[in-house]
Structure 1
Amino acid sequence: MSNLAGTRAEALAARRRGGPRTLRLGASRIGYEVRTYFRQGDSVFFTFLFPLVMLTIFSVAFSEGTFGTPGGKDEISAAAFYRPGMLAAGLLLSGLQNMSIDIATEKGDGTLKRLAGSPLPVLSYFIGKIGQVFVTGAMQAALLLLVAGVVFRVELPIDAASWVTFAWVFVLGVTTCAVLGIALSGLPRSGKSATAVIIPITLVLQFISGVYLGFSMLPEWLQNVASVFPLKWMAQGMRSVFLPDSFAALEKTGEWELGLVAIVTLTWLVLGLIATRLTFRWIRKDS
């Protein structure tokens, strides 16, 4: 009995020592993942700079016009109109697209197999990946807001409530997209096919979720389809922060529905965690 108790105590002590070590390794992995991310030119363009490029294109293309509500109460520039959608798209690209392609590629080139034979805990690996998404996502959002303000003269909100909303929509959105990206990384059959499989999914979601087209312009059935997915709600949350309150009339229910923004996004976060737990492996089962 005493030997059993001693073994349990030793195991518990080992787990306690392993906790700080796992966090330290995860923190060091964040720096490694960020450096690796910015060394990949295609990833930087298609995930980090892509929303900024699209904002610039739309802002220049529609520079002579304005966007307003049906009653004409408020009119804003194209840059101001597209800024919230591009911020939401940035979360999707930095999280879901980048994460799923990156992990699928690491599965294909044997990186995960080598890590499986190393002392690196799986949790440390995930901390590094998700931390990289937070860092690059925050940098991307800051750059987009800076360019919109300096180049296109789009003002920022001045009330604290708007920035609180922005903070929780950003954190919840980027976390959900990162977790869904991990879950989706098992979909491509190889690292080479990851880009061809994942990018069309993210493009379709952006077109139907009010990023490139005004959500009210879409057919009702397509609005219903988009409402199932988190990007529509993340974009709506961003619009509630950066657009005048009168623009809520352009939403499907005529309201910002921030409660539903949180509920739907949290639901997808939970589903992503479940899918990740069930499907993620260091190496493919068929390898």
Structure 2
Amino acid sequence: MSAPGIPARVPAVLAVSRARARVEFLIFIRERISVVFTFFFPVLLLIVIGAIFHGQQLPGGIDLAQYFVAGMIGAGLFGVSFQNVAIAIPIERDIGTLKRLAGTPMPRSAYFIGKMAMVAFVALAQNVLLLGIGSAFFGLRLPDTADRWLTYLWVISLGIASCTMLGIAASGFIRNGRTAPAVMTPIAIVLQFISGVYFVFATLPSWMQTVAAVFPLKWIAQGMRSVFLPDDYQAQEPAGSWELGRVALVLVAWCVLGFLIAARTFRWRSRFDD
């Protein structure tokens, strides 16, 4: 026999989480700057980079534009989750949104579930747009086997979870919403440059590869390369393989680590309220 109130509480949390996800999505689309720089910026970069490198090839006859699509998917996901969340939460804290939510009967978990659901929806919509533009204008070859699509789905899912948790964790270290973009944007840009988004990862200095390997973006981009590039290309990776087992392990580890850090650092009130 289940404990009293448990069967009623779970559907209630799910219902509140769905409502919160809708609110998060509406907040996102009403912020035009966020929509442009978070949602459309990777799309614009794909168009520019694809146009510049279209027809140029990597060893093995792989179109360079095909390589960059994998990186753009990772960068877009990273921007929507880590960067967007780490900037949005301090702003919501400063204007009192989090304080008001904490004072309502809403289960606090619904806020985080709603945030992650919004990230997932926006990231998937962005992926559809990137794949559509890539295949329509730059000859992107979509995955042709069920295994590759399955890899695509679990890398995207773990990438969204790990980067969102990392963004929530990072928000606890930012003093206020005014400084959040100035702190998080350079971090996101540097990680994109050293994680194989704008450059072929194997050509980067070894110390950059080592630093990038600490963070999830490098592994998301590598997982995406295993989806969109031929299996022969894995010989060009620093480890000589796609390392999908390690990709999953690192992303799961960041989900757990991000959760543990967020549990200690997340604040519902601004420092000025203390």
TM-score bucket of the superposed structures, by smaller chain: over 0.9
Q: Which position in structure 1 is the counterpart of 2:123?
A: 137
Greater than 2 Å deviation, 4+ residue runs: 12-19, 76-79, 284-287
Quote the RMSD (CA, aligned, Å).
Answer: 1.6
Q: Which position in structure 2 is the counterpart of 1:165?
A: 151
Q: Which position in structure 2 is the counterpart of 1:5?
A: none
Counterpart pick for 1:150 among 93, 114, 136: 136
- Superposition pairs of residues 1-287 of structure 1, within 5 angstroms: 12-63=3-54, 65-69=55-59, 74-284=60-270, 286-287=272-273
Q: Is the 8 A contact 1:58 1:78 kept in 2?
A: no
Relative to the length of structure 1, the TM-score reads 0.91
1:118 deviates by 1.5
| Paired residue secondary structure (1:13) | coil
Larger Rg: 1
Alpha-carbon distance in 2 for matches of 1:112, 1:35: 17
- For structure 1, list consecutive stretches of 5 or more residues without a partner in the other structure: 1-8
Alpha-carbon distance in 2 for matches of 1:213, 1:152: 18
Q: Is the 8 A contact 1:67 1:81 kept in 2?
A: no
Query: Which is worse superposed, 39-48 or 201-210?
Result: 39-48
Q: Is the 8 A contact 1:215 1:250 kept in 2?
A: no
1:14 deviates by 3.7
| Paired residue secondary structure (1:235) | helix
CA deviation profile, 1:152-210 (whole Å, cap 9, x unmatched):
22121211110010010000011111111111111221111111111111111000000
Alpha-carbon distance in 1 for matches of 2:265, 2:9: 25
* Aligned length, in residue pairs: 273
Q: Is the 8 A contact 2:65 2:138 kept in 1?
A: yes
1:249 deviates by 2.0
- Identity of counterpart residues, as a percentage? 45
Alpha-carbon distance in 1 for matches of 2:196, 2:104: 44
Q: Is the 8 A contact 1:104 1:191 kept in 2?
A: yes
Q: Is the 8 A contact 1:113 1:282 kept in 2?
A: yes
AA of the residue aligned to 1:23: L
- For structure 2, list consecutive stretches of 5 or more residues without a partner in the other structure: none
1:235 deviates by 0.5
Q: Is the 8 A contact 2:172 2:265 kept in 1?
A: yes
Q: Is the 8 A contact 1:68 1:247 kept in 2?
A: no
Q: Is the 8 A contact 2:175 2:271 kept in 1?
A: no
| Paired residue secondary structure (1:190) | coil
